[in-house]
Each structure stands twice: as structure tokens, then as C-alpha cells.
Amino acid sequence: MKRKTFKHLAFTVIGGLALVVSACSNDAGTEKAATNDTQTEQAATTDGAANETAANETTTDAAAPAEDRVMKDAMDHEVTIPAEPKAIIASYLEDNLVALGVKPVAQWMIKSDQVQAYLQDSLSGVPGIPFDLPPEVVASYSPDLILIDGPDLVAGEKYKQYSAIAPTYVVGGAENNDWRDELLTIGDVLGKKDEAQKVLDDYDAKAADAKTKVDEATGGAKKAAVLWVLEKDVFVVNQNLSSGDVIYNDLGMTVPDIVKQASESSESNWSSLSLELLADIDADYLFLVNASGKDKDQVLSDPVWKNIPAVKEGQVYEFTGDSSWLYTGAIANGKIIDDVLSSVAGGQ
């Protein structure tokens, strides 16, 4: 699932010249002094004009407008990136935009109103756009840059249709793009490469600090699992994707065997978990993303949960279906870290 703005200012200080002229008793001395005064004034005027010209040239250089750039995207398209894009559509990449201080003209949406709730402090009031990006809807926002997550979203004639609307840049080429690479790529495209690296550095520092606190609170080597509970199904997160990437790779919690098996057999973020496998999950901590329509106690009252170590020890932590646990990115992952600390380490 994110600062620095460099502005160059030129200042020129022109000092005045103090003239001390000694009085002379004869006309020749007076005339010579007057001549010197005139030459000095002319020199000061010339120097001042030169300095002012230099200052104007420096200011002009500093204010020179940024230029369009041609960049090659993940599909080898050569894309002309506007110097200062003002109307960006980057469906499902909004975490990166918000992390970089950029607000799109429309945001990813499913159904008729479901957006990424965890981003709404920054994106409140930004209209939703259907997740499949119908070209006619995209065109209605008059974007000057379109960022696309991956090649599957521009299959068939879609890339041609989007690129006819605005420059269209495909960010990644993998089925599940690494969120760090995504952020750095988008930062580069938007001329915010340094800001993107700063976001990553800040996130890594936060994760390292949180890992120490989680180790201290749990005693280390504790198994954990993230489960997404719907009305009739339970899904387990992939150990290397979404919130799995955070709790296992960033925070160092131990991967249960069933999570390993599910991750090896599927490249999806989430894999369906049978009731038999659910009953055997050997997790000391459960992070429950609850979208079942029931509260946690109702969910756990089903006998299938009773032998899970985390349930026995009362170490099941509940989060809503619209929380950041279903997403990824610097902001989403940072919120997940906060939730883990609040759950197992008392919010340290």
C-alpha cells in the first residue's frame, strides 16, 4: 500500500559606496574631486545594474518551468509524463499518492460507494471511480496522467483507449507488485523520488522499532495468523503479501505451518481456508479481519475455533472489514503496525 519541496531563491545585496572627499583650497583640487565623484557614481550605477541583471538571471533560472519527460513503463511503452500533472487517476494506487502528498481527481471504488476507508482522512470528498475504470468515466475527469497498477488492467484495447485520453503509465509488471518498488516508481514518475525514499526510510525505522517492542511483549518466536472472516468463508493471508508481509517479514512473527502451505499453493493475497485446516491452525495470536456481520464472540463461539491456541489464551484481536488490514502500502502497513502494537504490546 508514501514532503520535501526544493525551492531555489536568489538574493543579491548591493552595498552602497561611501565617498569621503577632502576639501581643497584651489579650483583644480575641487574639479578633480568632482570628477572622482562622478566616476564613482557611474561605477556604482554600472555595478548596481550588473548585479541587478545577475540577480534577475538567477531568479529566472530558479523559476524556469519543469519540463515534460519521456519515461518507459513496465510494458515498455514510452510515455510522455507532464512536468506538473494536476489531474491524476491512479486507481488502487492511492496509498502511494497520499504518502507523497498528492490527491487524485478520483479514487478506486467497488460497488457504488466502497472506497479505501483508511485513506479517507486525506481523500474525503474525492469522488469514487469504478475499479474497472470504464474509459468513458475516466475521460469525464479530464485527467492529465493515468497510472495503472499492472498489465492485466490494460488488456485488450484498454491501454489504447486510456492513452488516447491522457498519458498512461503502467507501474508494475508482476501479478503482485512489491509495494516498495511501486512507491519508488510512482515517486520517480511524479518527480518525487527523494520524497518516496524518505517515506520508505521512515517506514523501515518504524517497523524496526515495532519489531523490538513486539519481541519484548511476546517473548519472541510466537506464531501469528491473519484471518479474514466473511459470512460463510474464512481466508488466510499470504505470508509475503498484504498484512502477512507486515507481521512476518517486517515484525518477525513466526509463520504457522498452515499459512506456509496456503502461501506455497497460491499467489493470491488471501486463500480460502477449510474448516478442518482452520481448526488445526497453530497460532498463538490471531488478527481477525471481521466482515462476517457477527461480533468476535459470536464468530468464536463456533466449536471449530475452540482448540486454536490463540483462542484458548484470549489472544484474538478484531479489526473491521474496512480497516487497512486488507490493503498494502506505506500508509496501510503503518496502520497495521500500530494495530499490532496496540494489540500485543499495549500500544507501546
* pLDDT, tens only, 197-250: 999 999 999 999 999 999 999 998 899 999 999 999 999 999 999 999 999 999
pLDDT band at 252 (very low <50, low <70, confident <90, very high): very high
Spatial separation of the C-alpha atoms in residues 134 and 139, rounded to whole Å: 9
The percentage of residues in the chain with a pLDDT greater than 70, rounded to a whole number, is 81
The percentage of residues in the chain with a pLDDT greater than 90, rounded to a whole number, is 78
pLDDT band at 66 (very low <50, low <70, confident <90, very high): confident
Within 10 angstroms of residue 280's Cβ, the number of other Cβ atoms is 14
Within 10 angstroms of residue 309's Cβ, the number of other Cβ atoms is 16
Per CATH, domain 69-191 is 3.40.50.1980: yes
* pLDDT, tens only, 149-204: 999 999 999 999 999 999 999 999 988 899 999 999 999 999 999 999 999 999 99
The single residue listed with the C-alpha cell 524496526 is 208
Q: What is the pLDDT of residue 24?
A: 33
Hey, do 69-191 and 218-344 end up sharing a CATH topology, with the first three levels equal?
yes
Per CATH, domain 218-344 is 3.40.50.1980: yes
Higher pLDDT, 12 or 348: 348
pLDDT band at 25 (very low <50, low <70, confident <90, very high): very low
The model's pTM: 0.81
Domain ranges of the chain: 3-64, 69-191, 218-344
Spatial separation of the C-alpha atoms in residues 269 and 252, rounded to whole Å: 19
Spatial separation of the C-alpha atoms in residues 275 and 279, rounded to whole Å: 6
**Residue 11, helix vs strand vs coil:** coil
Let me know: does 345 contact 217? Beta carbons within 8 Å: yes
Residue 102 — φ and ψ, nearest 5°?
-115, 135
Closest C-alpha to 188, from 91, 69, 87, 90: 69
Spatial separation of the C-alpha atoms in residues 150 and 153, rounded to whole Å: 6
Q: What is the pLDDT of residue 16?
A: 30
pLDDT band at 43 (very low <50, low <70, confident <90, very high): very low
Q: What is the pLDDT of residue 174?
A: 87
Closest C-alpha to 146, from 208, 91, 77: 91
Q: What is the pLDDT of residue 347?
A: 64
* pLDDT, tens only, 48-62: 544 554 455 554 455
Per the prediction, the chain carries an average pLDDT of 86
Q: What is the pLDDT of residue 64?
A: 61
